[in-house]
Amino acid sequence: MAAKKTVETITIKPIVRLRTKIRIVGDTPLITHAWSEKAKRQMLEDQMKGKQVKKRPTKMPFDDFARALHWITPMPTETIVDPATNEQREVVTEELFDQAIKDGAKFGFPANSIKLCANSAAYRMGYVKNQMALRGAYFIKSEYGDLCEIKGDIPQLRDDMVRVQMSTDIRFRPMFENWYIDAELEYNSSGQFSLEDIINCINLGGYAVGIGEWRPEHDGDFGQFHVEVID
């Protein structure tokens, strides 16, 4: 006699995707530092052994400042001949930047960095046993893709002394004095974490970890924020 075939019924639990609007409100100034193509090229040249490194281009504080911004709108540049290398290079001048501001320039901050900030704080404070649990629980969305628009004050040029290996250097970076970010939070309402849990993790991240340069996670107090639910 042939054995009877058993039929197993599988119930697929639905993923219920819900979205809510949140506002991340800065409590301390935000310092951004996007990696420019020039900085990446210099790092690569420094790491190439057995090959002569080209002369360093002339340091231009305002160009460094502008390139440390995460531009949502196109970054304006003009071509000049660098006196140190005698080569052409694209730079951002103060005049071009001012005109871009008048034309409605927009700057952003990586959405994933905000999420990493929240997940790190939740793990350190014992909310979760590991950060993996939160990675698929929610996503921070923006109409500009990977960048969430920074709203508020126009960024100001800031200079800081930093240690680079065994030497000291001056870095010119943008700072937003008063700022906020509007974003959408997508989460699985049938998942392990409730919307309240997720909001509290992001809020804790704003206090204990922060975003940007010189944040609490890196022994500073910049880039702190709190969360407000808009919708």
Residue 159 covered by a domain: yes
Strand partners, 159: 172
Residue 137 domain boundaries: 17-33+107-229
138 domain-assigned = yes
pTM for this prediction: 0.85
Each residue's pLDDT tens digit in the chain (231 positions)? 666 778 888 888 888 999 999 999 999 999 999 975 555 555 555 555 545 556 777 889 999 999 999 999 999 999 999 888 888 999 999 999 999 999 999 999 999 999 999 999 999 998 888 888 899 999 999 999 999 999 999 999 999 887 766 778 788 999 999 999 999 999 999 988 999 999 999 999 999 999 999 999 999 999 999 999 876
Are residues 116 and 132 in contact, defined by beta-carbon separation less than 8 angstroms? Answer: no
Q: Does residue 77 sit within a domain? A: no
Residue 193 lies in a domain: yes
How far apart are alpha carbons 20 and 129 in whole angstroms?
26
What per-residue confidence (pLDDT) applies to 53? 53
- 220 inside domain: yes
Evaluate whether residue 100 is within a structural domain.
no
Residue 209 lies in a domain: yes
Contact residues for 14 (Cβ-Cβ < 8 A; gap 6+): 190
Domain count, the chain: 1
Judge whether 71 lies within some domain.
no
